[in-house]
A and B are shown apart, each in its own frame.
Chain A
């Protein structure tokens, strides 16, 4: 009979009388353990060898168990000390016995509990009596510990369980794979087996010499799992951001960039947020201590924004009846939204004047002083996009955003009229969750107010929307706690195993 080399070696190393561990077989046959294992399974399939997995238990002493082997079990030390103090003839004070036995701390409780359990005597009202005939020299737990310390086995399951319960031993089971020759295997060996000319790895010599034409390739078990590899991987939130960027670039949007630490002027004032708006208190935004103020703002623009706040825009416009202070406008914050970038771009301050039509976007960090919880972080990515064109309507807005969300499997978008200080009309966007089927909020949108556009010098209409990237990710992947993903508390295991976005 012709068999591959490894199978022949395994067959020869195996025994018909006893089960032998595969590791021993491998070393006898001079094979890698995994090669021997593979060969053994192949022989098992052809009926020449029987492979079986058996559980083997190992019992080892814990640190505490080892200590008791050296010093004696606490209850036995208590018994011995009490016996010495004459407690077999009448009760003696427990305190004296404990100090004689050098027991303190947790050991006292352990000693007393087991002393009582094993019936070595009684403790009552601080006094102890012992049963002089109790015979601690044959204490089963002590004998078992000593046997284990001497590497002997302990067959008494009850005692092992008790010692395990006391935390004195650790029990581990491991699987040992063993093989034994079958009758067919013995017959085959008797009839004679020889190694076939099979090849494991392809070598340069094999290829250049042309030998490959004459050899047989060893068959691999192609269905088996291979070893896991930890590989480099882009962060899932970055993948999501890039997916969003791809969609937006495809829809004709250009990416914006700009400062994270910015003047409240760009973050709030340009957006027609009155300076006494409740969301502008430092409870909601991160004010900076240093640097404190921006060094320069475009003065004419500041004046136009101030005038919009105080007097409104146009013949029938009204302003806010709120204070306006340039120092507040100049003070620096970590931006609470990337709409500050939109303001910088629309004003022409960032990249020069824009002519309609234009589409711009960013997927960048924003900072909000929220309470940290599974769905809220102090910093998160905001997707921001806007379209600058003549005569945009609510229908154009709905059409654009319907298309965007459709790219992420969110259909049946609903537009709920809403209020923002900087857009009118405004809509909250709701979509059907792709997994749960629930209606969930997926963004906020609107057409910029004239009090925003006119000071910026923008004559055409601008429609804009924003949503959190983390929210989109959670919707798509069903993550429950965003903190596992974003930030220094992240779990590498989760990041390693998460499915890629495409």
Chain B
């Protein structure tokens, strides 16, 4: 979940509410922002669910608090000035066809507000921007830019592509003029994002009249770096989806506008023949369009479980930063809900109902047990499993619970078998792609390896150790839709000096009798067991498993100094 660092003094200034730290923390908790602790700079670390991305900055959180306090109500859309600048989209890489932008003027940065601008970029990159792959933000000092003369005499910059080795510029945090390729190879920030352009023949590039100033999504040029002295900014965002970068842009513009800046529109002019959906079109940005959704009064009441009058619904919507207009006819009342552009999380009318519920106060609702009657019951397999477990426990077994994931060495090698062997446990593995731990690379094909590992880890504990487990085992099987055959397996080990095959056979007899099955144990060979002391388990004529004395090689491999008799069979053999 996202975490933002917020200076409580800034929150007090931006909300205008003189609240003590602990009052602030309570108010923030009510909004779903959990206080996680203090940073070294005495800022609050606030964690929240990743839906309200408009709260990724102190400005956004302050806005939510002002609605919460009732200081603000309803939808707010900043006014914007006419465009002076155009972004000409000429020939961007097909892998990254989209750009958006805005000009923001009249900023008065200090260290805190500049820090906040950097934080919101980082947080948006990490969330909506999907680590810059879907959307990447570049912020530039407008003073350092020289517009190319455009078609209407206005100033323009160009979003296009460049050959990785041809162009040269000085990237941020460097004094050296480098090619974009060199930036991806040896610049400490550039190399971090090299992967995003690794498959591109030509790299994304943004030029002004002076030359290259941004290499999205990797790094900006140093020439246009924003400092505390910057007053006017050009914001550009490139990405793989226009909607996503437009929303990111709206969130950033709202945050800067809350600091007293003025937003100025920018024309995005996609040339004919550019990749993507907007070839030949000009977009007016930032996109502050207010969306509408229609929500029925009945649905609000049925989801929240409370009867409302219209005024309460409108009041709750306004306190959530939305506008609601009731429209009543014979069918009932429907509200037309206005949604500001920064609310990227409201996809469906149900999301609006949630906002109304939060404003109303879900925790004030009286719980009620639903008057709905159903008949419950256990799954047949789970009942069989329980009955078998009861039988094992009655025979003196200590029931265990082990992981289904295991390593190939533990599953096969340490028991003397190999994948593909035609013996119990010899199935081909259901294996994990790029496993992080050598201990967990596949699903076990049988449970006996798990029990032997428990014996190995408990040699210091009192004997006898009669252990059993009923659990999942799986192997590849093309006849299954998923390609994996999963079954429940029953495994038992008897570890004690003097134990032998007969002790395991005796317990199997007990289980078979309990389930009304005929048990036969014809001799067989299995590398895990001692030859001549190994048998197939045949229940009612079906071969379902194996029983025997564990081979000394396997015992020694597991560091055991007592004999072990063991069995393993399919649970459905008892059905």
* A396-B370, A419-B51, A491-B458 as given contacts; A278 in contact with B241, CB under 8 Å: no
CB <8 Å contact, B302 and A449: no
Smallest CB gap from A249: residue in B: B376
Q: Tally chain B residues at the interface, Cβ within 8 Å.
A: 95
* A232-B399, A451-B347 as given contacts; A252 in contact with B376, CB under 8 Å: yes
A278 to B126, CA, bound (A): 9
CB <8 Å contact, B482 and A261: yes
Answer yes or no: A120 CB below 8 A from chain B CBs: no
CB <8 Å contact, A291 and B484: yes
- A134 nearest CB across to chain B (Å): 46
- A81 nearest CB across to chain B (Å): 43
Answer yes or no: A79 CB below 8 A from chain B CBs: no
- A395 nearest CB across to chain B (Å): 3
CB <8 Å contact, B49 and A317: no
- B340 nearest CB across to chain A (Å): 15
Chain B neighbourhood of A313, CB < 8 A: 348
Stretch in B19-27, B278-286, B388-396 with 4+ CB within 8 Å of A:
B388-396
CB <8 Å contact, B393 and A288: no
Chain A neighbourhood of B466, CB < 8 A: 232
Answer yes or no: A425 CB below 8 A from chain B CBs: yes
Chain B neighbourhood of A417, CB < 8 A: 32, 354, 357-358, 362
* A232-B392, A359-B376 as given contacts; A496 in contact with B402, CB under 8 Å: no
Interface residues of B in 455-482 (CB under 8 A from A): 457-458, 461-462, 464-467, 472, 474, 476, 481-482
Interface residues of A in 354-402 (CB under 8 A from B): 357-359, 365, 367, 369, 377-379, 387, 389, 391-396, 398-400, 402
Interface string of A180-208 (1 = CB under 8 A from B): 00000000000000000000000000000
Answer yes or no: B375 CB below 8 A from chain A CBs: yes
Chain A neighbourhood of B366, CB < 8 A: 395
Answer yes or no: A250 CB below 8 A from chain B CBs: yes
* A291-B476, A394-B357, A425-B354 as given contacts; A238 in contact with B399, CB under 8 Å: yes
CB <8 Å contact, B430 and A291: yes
Chain A neighbourhood of B437, CB < 8 A: 378
Q: Which of A233, A242, A255, A367 is the one whose CB lies under 8 Å from B398?
A: A233
Answer yes or no: B151 CB below 8 A from chain A CBs: no
Answer yes or no: B9 CB below 8 A from chain A CBs: no
* A314-B348, A332-B483, A379-B405 as given contacts; A414 in contact with B363, CB under 8 Å: yes
Chain A neighbourhood of B293, CB < 8 A: 316
Smallest CB gap from A403: residue in B: B369
A interface, size bucket: 35 or more
CB <8 Å contact, A261 and B306: no
* A230-B462, A379-B405 as given contacts; A250 in contact with B376, CB under 8 Å: yes
Answer yes or no: B111 CB below 8 A from chain A CBs: no
- B377 nearest CB across to chain A (Å): 5
CB <8 Å contact, A232 and B394: yes
Chain A neighbourhood of B432, CB < 8 A: 286-289, 334
Q: Which of B373, B428, B450 is the one whose CB lies under 8 Å from A357?
A: B373
Chain A neighbourhood of B241, CB < 8 A: 321-322
* A287-B433, A393-B302 as given contacts; A488 in contact with B482, CB under 8 Å: no
CB <8 Å contact, A398 and B443: no
CB <8 Å contact, A261 and B443: yes
Q: Which of A234, A255, A262, A276 is the one whose CB lies under 8 Å from B399?
A: A234
Answer yes or no: A11 CB below 8 A from chain B CBs: no
CB <8 Å contact, B396 and A254: no
CB <8 Å contact, A290 and B476: yes
Interface string of A230-274 (1 = CB under 8 A from B): 111111011000100100111111111101111100000000000
Interface string of A443-475 (1 = CB under 8 A from B): 000010111000000000100000000000000
A253 to B372, CA, bound (A): 12
Interface string of B35-60 (1 = CB under 8 A from A): 00000000000000111100000000
Smallest CB gap from A379: residue in B: B403
- B239 nearest CB across to chain A (Å): 10
Chain B neighbourhood of A414, CB < 8 A: 363
Give 8 closest A-B pairs by Cβ, nearest first. Answer: A291-B483, A393-B305, A395-B305, A419-B49, A398-B367, A488-B453, A255-B379, A419-B51
B contacts, CB < 8 Å to A: 32, 49-52, 127, 130, 134, 241, 243-244, 292-294, 302-306, 345, 347-351, 353-354, 357-358, 362-363, 365-370, 372-379, 381-382, 386, 389-390, 392-405, 428-437, 440, 443, 450, 453-454, 457-458, 461-462, 464-467, 472, 474, 476, 481-484, 486
17 CB-based A-B contacts, threshold 8 Å: A232-B466, A234-B399, A257-B381, A260-B486, A288-B433, A289-B431, A289-B433, A290-B430, A294-B482, A296-B481, A357-B374, A378-B437, A395-B365, A400-B370, A415-B362, A488-B454, A488-B457
Q: Given A276-B130, A395-B365, A419-B345, 9 more contacts at CB 8 Å?
A: A276-B134, A290-B483, A387-B372, A394-B304, A419-B32, A424-B351, A424-B353, A486-B402, A491-B458
